[in-house]
């Protein structure tokens, strides 16, 4: 058994050997606690037939645990300085492929097709860079990848928003977008002390399991998300006011907005955060013909 990468001593050794310095702009925080990594992997329920996709492997701490627990790992790393480090630290594992690319600019579906042939069960497992957590998640969800789900570490505040229920202060368009595609739950809270360098915030691990089909049937998905973003435009305002200011030509279409709200049995003086995903589905279907 190889010595774990995720210990303070081994991490410092690797960083020293390569003269590596952390780039703040890339949100680099490496995990130095193997128990945390073992738990993350456990929540992904991988088998020796599974594949894992990782984003931002760093020096390979989580990658190593994934490699020991599944058939193949494909990791996207944006920082060219880490490529030789990963080749070294992960040399014991023949089932790892590192791709030196920005995940946001990658055709992930194509990579899966090329690298995961014959693998039916695929999970995205990653300690996501905090500054781009939301764009990465939304891209991977919109791309409709052939994956079972995601077990991802992120800033606690974003995790709370993703898993929020209607009527709570964290509930917003992000909650709806993620819960439209997946069932979402926080499975772990992670203290800042297990990272090097320590971030300023606590972290949570969220498990998202892809739904067989969305909880609502909508005429147009993009329009649903346009409506939800508009509805949360200004949190103090009513749904009616927010839709007017947030929808294209909303001011000119006041009457159509009122009619749609009335047709769905939604009081125009309610606030966006009180609407369930089902209500947003009905509302976007009712508004859609007037905005297209």
Question: Would the annotation count 64 as a binding residue?
Answer: no
Q: Are the C-beta atoms of residues 54 and 24 closer than 8 Å to each other?
A: no
Q: Are the C-beta atoms of residues 288 and 280 closer than 8 Å to each other?
A: no
Question: Would the annotation count 107 as a binding residue?
Answer: no
Question: Would the annotation count 200 as a binding residue?
Answer: no
- CA–centroid distance for 83 within its chain: 24
- Torsion sign across C-alpha atoms 163, 167, 171, 172: positive
Round to whole Å and give the CA distance between 174 and 155: 14
Residues in Cβ contact with 90 at an 8 Å cutoff, skipping those fewer than 6 apart: 60, 63, 64, 67, 96, 98
Q: Which residues pair with 126 in a beta bridge?
A: 152
Question: Would the annotation count 9 as a binding residue?
Answer: no
Round to whole Å and give the CA distance between 50 and 76: 18
Q: 147 exposed, middle or buried (CB, 10 Å; 0-12, 13-18, 19+)?
A: buried
Question: Would the annotation count 79 as a binding residue?
Answer: no
Question: Would the annotation count 115 as a binding residue?
Answer: no
Please enumerate, by residue number, every residue annotated as part of a binding site for S-adenosyl-L-methionine: 29, 31, 56, 77, 102, 127
Please enumerate, by residue number, every residue annotated as part of a binding site: 29, 31, 56, 77, 102, 127
């Amino acid at each position: 058994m190889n010595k774990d990468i995720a210990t303070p001593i081994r991490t410092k050794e690797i960083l020293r050997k390569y003269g590596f310095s952390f780039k703040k702009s890339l949100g680099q925080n490496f995990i130095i606690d193997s128990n945390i990594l073992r738990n993350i992997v456990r929540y992904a329920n991988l088998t020796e037939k599974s594949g894992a996709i990782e984003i931002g492997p760093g020096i390979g701490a989580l990658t190593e645990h994934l490699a020991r627990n599944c058939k193949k790992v494909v990791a996207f790393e944006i920082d060219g300085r880490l490529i030789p480090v990963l080749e070294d630290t992960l040399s014991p594992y023949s089932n790892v492929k590192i791709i030196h690319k920005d995940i946001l600019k990658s055709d992930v579906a194509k990579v899966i097709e090329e690298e995961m042939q014959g693998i039916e069960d695929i999970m995205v497992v990653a300690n996501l860079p905090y500054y781009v957590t939301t764009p990465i998640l939304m891209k991977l969800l919109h791309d409709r990848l052939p994956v079972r789900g995601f077990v991802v570490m992120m800033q606690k505040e974003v995790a709370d928003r993703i898993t929020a229920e209607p009527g709570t202060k964290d509930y917003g368009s992000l909650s709806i977008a993620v819960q439209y595609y997946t069932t979402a739950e926080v499975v772990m809270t992670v203290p800042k002390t297990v990272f090097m360098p320590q971030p300023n915030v606590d972290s949570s691990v969220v498990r998202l399991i892809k739904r067989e089909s969305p909880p609502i049937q909508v005429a147009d998905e993009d329009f649903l998300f346009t409506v939800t973003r508009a509805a949360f435009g200004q949190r103090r305002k009513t749904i009616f006011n927010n839709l007017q200011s947030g929808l294209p030509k909303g001011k000119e279409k006041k009457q159509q907005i009122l009619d749609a709200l009335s047709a769905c049995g939604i009081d125009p003086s309610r606030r966006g955060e009180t609407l369930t995903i089902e209500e947003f589905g009905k509302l976007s279907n009712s508004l859609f013909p007037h905005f297209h």
